[in-house]
Amino acid sequence: MIMNTRFLALIFCFLFTIAAFAQLTPPGLGETNTAFWSAIGVSQKLNEKNSSKTYFGAGYISGTEAEDPFNAPSIIVLNQEFYHKLNSKWQYSYALSYRRQHEYDEQFDKPEEADIRQEFRVYGRFSYTTYIGSLKWSTTVRQEVRKFFSDDFAQVENSLQLRTRLKTQLFVPLDHDSHNSFMGSAEALFAVANDHNEGWDSPEYKEVRFCLYYSYSPESMPVTFDIGYMNDLIGNGHDTADASYIAMDIIIKDPFSHS
């Protein structure tokens, strides 16, 4: 009965995402064997140089002792980002984000409503894009300021974090009009945290994320459907944790544009 319920939940999530966005890659969900991420968003062109993307996403995790990616709810995310195109190759963006994440002990036996961590995030990024034949290659530097609170907005350990992300990604069109495409990416993350009692720690490497996505943008509909896989390697050396993510998302394109 439990397996049937989870199978139906998987089908529902697949159908839900297939009806609604595009390459809204998963956030890191900590140490877990597997995870599932689903999101829906709206991308809106404001004028020739400016655009906006808003999305809502949710994630589930298996934990370190199980393999079921729907084992426990992990996170909800609300994100708003604005983009400005400087020229054909350079672009910058800035964003605000709210995240609400469950935290579990190693046995995952704490109540779901306990140990909630809230995060408010501000970030900006610069991207450089070039073309190699029909291939599109983009490199991005992203700087984040992250502030954490408990569920009742009390102080938590390492409540302020500065994080730098370096990402390279390659877009491969599968047809002449790019209705079907693949995207592969690699991203390294570095961070320094501040504790309200102990002050700033030393900057350090945190993790690297590898993604492979398939995108479908039907000519008859103003949407893009994505399904992808992410491998998250947390830590380094002998202290490395590995997590596999299944990701689905849908982006609705320019719903407020006039014909």
Question: Do 33 and 59 contact (CB within 8 A), yes or no?
Answer: no
Tally of residues, the chain: 259
60 burial type by CB count under 10 A (0-12 exposed, 13-18 middle, 19+ buried): buried
Q: How many CA atoms lie within 13 A of 58 on its CB side?
A: 7
In degrees to the nearest 10, what's the CA dihedral of 23, 72, 35, 140?
A: 50
Question: Do 122 and 160 contact (CB within 8 A), yes or no?
Answer: no
pTM: 0.87
Quote the pLDDT of residue 19. 35
- What is the per-residue pLDDT across 32-78, written as a single tens digit (0 to 9) for each? 999 999 999 999 999 999 999 999 999 999 999 899 999 999 999 99
Residues 6+ apart with CB under 8 A from 246: 34, 35, 36, 37, 69, 228, 229
Quote the pLDDT of residue 109. 65
Question: Do 50 and 254 contact (CB within 8 A), yes or no?
Answer: no
Residue located via tokens 């934990």: 63
Quote the pLDDT of residue 83. 97
Q: Two tokens at 8?
A: 């139906």
Is the pLDDT confidence value at 15 over 90? no
- What is the per-residue pLDDT across 112-171, written as a single tens digit (0 to 9) for each? 556 899 999 999 999 999 999 999 999 999 999 999 999 999 989 899 999 999 999 999
Question: Do 25 and 230 contact (CB within 8 A), yes or no?
Answer: yes
Count of CB atoms situated within 10 Å of the CB of 245: 24
Q: Which amino acid is at 98?
A: Y
Nearest Cα to 77, choosing from 109, 123, 132? 123
For 25, 82, 128, 246, the CA distances from 38, given in Å and listed in that order, are: 9, 21, 27, 9
Quote the pLDDT of residue 7. 43
Residue 6 CA to residue 248 CA, distance in Å, equals 17
Residue 105 CA to residue 200 CA, distance in Å, equals 26
Question: Do 195 and 157 contact (CB within 8 A), yes or no?
Answer: yes
Residue 121 CA to residue 184 CA, distance in Å, equals 25
The stretch 208-228 carries a mean pLDDT of: 95
- What is the per-residue pLDDT across 194-215, written as a single tens digit (0 to 9) for each? 988 889 999 999 999 999 999 9
Residue 225 CA to residue 214 CA, distance in Å, equals 8
